[in-house]
Chain A
Amino acid sequence: MAAGNAIDPMHQFEISKIAEFKLFGFDLSFTNSSLWMVIAVSVVSFITIFGTSSRAMVPGRLQSLAEMSYEFVANILTGVTGKEGMRFFPLVFSLFMFVLAANMLGLLPGSFTVTSHIIVTAAFAVLVILTVIVAGVINHGTHFLHLFVPSGLPALLLPFIVMIEVISFISRPISLALRLFGNMLAGHVALKLFGAFTVGLLGAGAASVFAPFPLITAVALTALEFLVAFLQAYVFTILTCVYLNDALHPGH
């Protein structure tokens, strides 16, 4: 089939080197992934720093966007963890904006989706869970371990409950990483498949009358993917807040 090369939904996730760079035997080349990370950071910085440079009392568009993002994330954080959670605001805000920017930029045709690589989402998840553990131990010392030992439990049940709690704690970063990765990956694969299907049908003689159907699906999917891009950034952020809440208020 001629379209064999076109229908390769994994091609969009391939990492290609832009500038070779090696350090201590590691391949640290500047790739398309690195480029889109830089673009995501630039976009976020442009909105939040350049957009607010006039410090207008009545905000313009960019400043409104920056303020809306600030208040959106601040509301999530204080809503879940209370006022003291604002200590983690820079981290949570950076996470939300980076993930949102990466997800959204990934929907540009021909771009690369940084968050469709599990190593990136896993790195974020590890960062979040390490922050939870470090902040929890600093704030509460050994009392943080009460997270795994619910109070008022019969001694007989204790080992099982502790085991369940430990497993649930360990599964948090895994689910955090896999959810974002899986959503981004699957959405882009589906988009690519329907797009390629449309092209394939167009080149298939009489069958080309059916080409509009996958095209319509692809358009609808694109709209859905914009929703998913936002929603996954939101879910990642709100779960981060929920886990940080454990660091601030351990025990059930």
Chain B
Amino acid sequence: MRFLVTSAILAATSAPVLAAEGTMFPPFDTSTFAGQLFWLAITFGTLYLLMSRVALPRIGSILEERQEKIERALGAASDAQKAAETSASELETSLAKAKANAQAIAQEARTKSGKEIDAKRKTVESDLAAKMIAAESAIAETKAKAMANVEDIAREAVEAMVETLTGKKPTAAAITKAVGAARGE
């Protein structure tokens, strides 16, 4: 009712100005009100029924389904990511293990070969030392032999020189004495 009153007031104040040519200002023409209300009730009622019964439940279910699907996909994605992360960490640990293994093997091989080399070197060294000692003793023997020969040669030389100079053979004792004196220097 309020609205009829309000519109009537507005119509009374503005209609004479706006409807200068004698025609009524259409929005305030009350003879059309019943028809407009009638058709508005029918059309808006139809729209309300169609929206509340058909359109809105359908759109709501479409949106809900999509939301669920997105959430499901996101969940699956995060699961897959977790699986990938665990397998990555597994890979890392096995890699680390393999690395450690490899290092251990390498270390072992190194120490083993080091020992072998040491052993070989030692045998070679001792061999060489033995050979050196043998060589040294051979040299000493040769030297002694040579020294003995030198005494004989010196005696013969002394005998020959004394015989040539004096005309008589010196005694063996004198030669020994002379050679020994010479060697004593």
On A, residues with C-beta under 8 Å from B are 8, 10, 13-15, 26-31, 33-34, 37-38, 40-41, 44-45, 48-49, 52, 55-57, 59, 63, 66-67, 70-71, 89-91, 93-94, 97-98, 114, 116-120, 122-123, 125-126, 170, 173-174, 177-178, 181, 185
Contacts and interface: CB of A to CB of B under 8 A. Distances in A.
Contact of A119 (B33, B47, B56, B66): B33
A114 B35 CA distance: 13
Given A119-B36, A174-B3, A185-B27, A98 B47 contact: yes
Those 4 A-B pairs whose CB atoms lie nearest each other, nearest first: A90-B52, A48-B55, A34-B39, A122-B3
Given A41-B44, A52-B62, A97-B51, 11 more contacts: A8-B21, A13-B27, A27-B31, A31-B35, A57-B66, A89-B56, A97-B47, A98-B43, A118-B3, A119-B36, A119-B37
A93 B7 CA distance: 27
A50 to B, nearest CB: 10
A30 B3 contact: no
Interface residues of B, number: 45
B35 A94 contact: no
Contacts of A48: 50-51, 55-56, 59
Contacts of A94: 44, 47-48, 51-52
Contact of A57 (B28, B60, B65): B65
A67 B36 contact: no
Contacts of B18: 10
15 contacts: A15-B29, A15-B36, A31-B35, A34-B36, A34-B39, A48-B56, A49-B50, A49-B55, A93-B51, A117-B27, A117-B32, A118-B28, A119-B37, A122-B6, A173-B3
The residue among A27, A30, A114, A119 with the most chain B CB atoms within 10 A of its own CB is: A119
Contacts, number: 147
B35 A41 contact: no
Contact of A34 (B29, B43, B56): B43
A174 B35 contact: no
Nearest to A34: B39
Interface in B29-74: 29, 31-41, 43-44, 46-48, 50-52, 54-56, 58-63, 65-66, 69
B23 interface: yes
B55 A66 contact: yes
Contact of A71 (B34, B35, B63): B63
The residue among A8, A52, A94, A98 with the most chain B CB atoms within 10 A of its own CB is: A94
A22 to B, nearest CB: 10
B19 interface: yes
A117 B54 CA distance: 29
A234 to B, nearest CB: 18
Contact of B19 (A10, A45, A55, A59): A10
Contacts of A31: 32, 35-36, 39
Contact of A45 (B2, B26, B40, B50): B50
Given A28-B38, A34-B35, A97-B47, A13 B58 contact: no
A70 B64 CA distance: 12
Nearest to A45: B50
A93 B58 CA distance: 14
A211 to B, nearest CB: 25
A36 to B, nearest CB: 9
A52 B26 contact: no
Nearest to A178: B6
Nearest to B10: A118
A181 B25 CA distance: 14
A181 B36 CA distance: 14
A15 B24 CA distance: 11
Contacts of B3: 118-119, 122, 125-126, 173-174, 177
A192 to B, nearest CB: 13
A70 B33 CA distance: 31
